Amino acid sequence: MMVPQVAQAHGSIEGAGDFYGGLLHPFLAPPELLAIIASGLLIGRSGLAACRYAIPTLACAVGAGLVLGWSAILAVEMTTPLALAAFVAAVFVTTGLRAPSPAAVAIALVAGLAVGFDAAPETGARMSALVGGAATVLASAALVTITAALALRAEKHWQRVAAQIAGSWITASAVLYLAFRFAPHR
Amino acid sequence: MASMKNGAAAASICMIAMCFANSALAHAGADHGGGGFASGFTHPLLGPDHVIAMVAVGLWGVFLGAPAIWVLPIVFPLVMALGGAFGMIGVPIRGVEVGIAMSAVILGMCVTLALKPPLWMAAIVVGVFAIFHGYAHGAEMPIASDAASYALGFVIATGLLHLCGIAFGSLARWPVGKLAVRAAGLLIAVAGGFYLSGLA
């Protein structure tokens, strides 16, 4: 009471505050979650060299996307780009093909930008946006790193199959969303 | 070995519980109270004809053995998604409900008789039925819904049903388990018959 703060209704997630709201955002927004996990699986299955470049690329792209999204005048729906990024990455994973490092980096760049733009804080306060945005970058980087590490270490047959099944599920989800998005109105 | 037995038993209980968890409605209709992950996740589970057919795919995969046991969980969601896209776009496919009921009958009989056709034949059979199931889900998708979450929900639910079927089917490595699995296949086929005849 002696040092009152600005009375904000909620952060990006009600009751979570700026930091935790930003941290949770990639986990609670299915399109972002799919894009990050699909990218992580692709990066991991593409080898260590791809991991070295693609993971930092994705993290930086999320940051850039957050800045662009926060400063953008118009809100842009990013679910379709997220679904497309997830679809492309997941197709590689499902087929078991190793993507060349440049391709993995390119997909990580697109996915990261889309995630960042989609997760851009809605608050006008710079400090709140900075805290929330930093948390989102942290969460995205952690999630893609963990997923890529698991995919990279998938040496046994059943582990590779599990990665392909995950890729299949993400591909199917993306196909369904894109069909819904572009289907004529029912 | 003991942990594998416990895992298979737990998955079997989960599968049985899911089969009898809700009222027996073939499809609950288009209105699931809005969209979202929960709505998509529960859609396959609220249709017993979906549940038994998905489990039957997993059971049959075990009988077919490698590589079918892991090819089916990879390919099935993709073909089902294609069917779902057809449903959303409005591609005219007749007899979807009959196809869904037939899937339970035929897949159940394949499990009961422990049929082991060539992989390509099994893939065609499963693929055709996947189209019907996907079509039903896609056509019944709530219009005002969070499409991405709904799609993710029902793909995951379908995949988990397969895995339950595979887990239960792993009991077939023992003679008694094999009988149990084939009996489950017979139950699935009979249930499918009830749906086909309109009694359910």
Name the residue of chain A whose CA is nearest to B149's CA.
A30
Domain count, chain B: 1
Question: Averaged over B14-39, what is the pLDDT?
Answer: 49
Mean per-residue pLDDT of chain B? 81
Name the residue of chain B whose CA is nearest to A30's CA.
B149
Cβ-proximal residues to A57 (8 Å cutoff; 6+ apart), any chain: A105, A108, A109, A112
Question: Averaged over A11-37, what is the pLDDT?
Answer: 84
Q: In this predicted model, what pLDDT tens digit does every residue of B159-191 receive, in sequence order? A: 999 989 999 998 888 899 999 999 999 999 999
Q: Which two tokens stand for residue B54?
A: 């998905």
Nearest C-alpha neighbor of A177 from the set B168, B3, B88: B88
A177 touches chain B (CB under 8 A): yes
Burial of B165 (0-12, 13-18, 19+ CB in 10 A): buried
B4 touches chain A (CB under 8 A): no
> With 50 as the cut, is the pLDDT of residue B30 above it?
no
Task: Give me the pLDDT at residue B165, please.
Answer: 92
Look-up: residue for tokens 């591609």?
Answer: B91
Task: Give me the pLDDT at residue B189, please.
Answer: 94
The domain containing residue B112 runs over which residues? 2-197
Q: In this predicted model, what pLDDT tens digit does every residue of A125-163 receive, in sequence order? A: 888 889 999 999 999 999 999 999 999 999 899 899 999
Question: Averaged over A22-47, what is the pLDDT?
Answer: 94
Look-up: residue for tokens 């099935």?
Answer: B76
Q: In this predicted model, what pLDDT tens digit does every residue of B39-81 receive, in sequence order? A: 889 888 988 888 999 999 999 998 888 888 888 888 889 999 9
Burial of A124 (0-12, 13-18, 19+ CB in 10 A): exposed
Cβ-proximal residues to A144 (8 Å cutoff; 6+ apart), any chain: A36, A39, A40, A43, A55, A58, A59, A108
User: A179: which chain B residues are within 8 Å (Cβ-Cβ)?
Assistant: 81, 84-85, 88-89, 138
Name the residue of chain A whose CA is nearest to B30's CA.
A186
Check CB contact under 8 Å for A176 and B75: no
Radius of gyration of chain A (CA): 17
A97 touches chain B (CB under 8 A): no
CA distance B83 to B85: 5
Question: Averaged over A29-41, what is the pLDDT?
Answer: 95
Higher-confidence residue of A134 and B199: namely A134
Question: Averaged over A43-70, what is the pLDDT?
Answer: 94
The CA distance from B49 to the nearest CA of chain A, in Å, is 21
- pLDDT-derived band at B23 (thresholds 50, 70, 90) equals very low
- pLDDT-derived band at A10 (thresholds 50, 70, 90) equals very low
User: B146: which chain A residues are within 8 Å (Cβ-Cβ)?
Assistant: 30
Between chain A and chain B, the number of residue pairs with CB atoms below 8 A apart is 86
Element of type H or E holding B1: none
- pTM for the structure as a whole: 0.82
The CA distance from A166 to the nearest CA of chain B, in Å, is 8
CA distance B146 to B163: 26
Task: Give me the pLDDT at residue B144, please.
Answer: 58
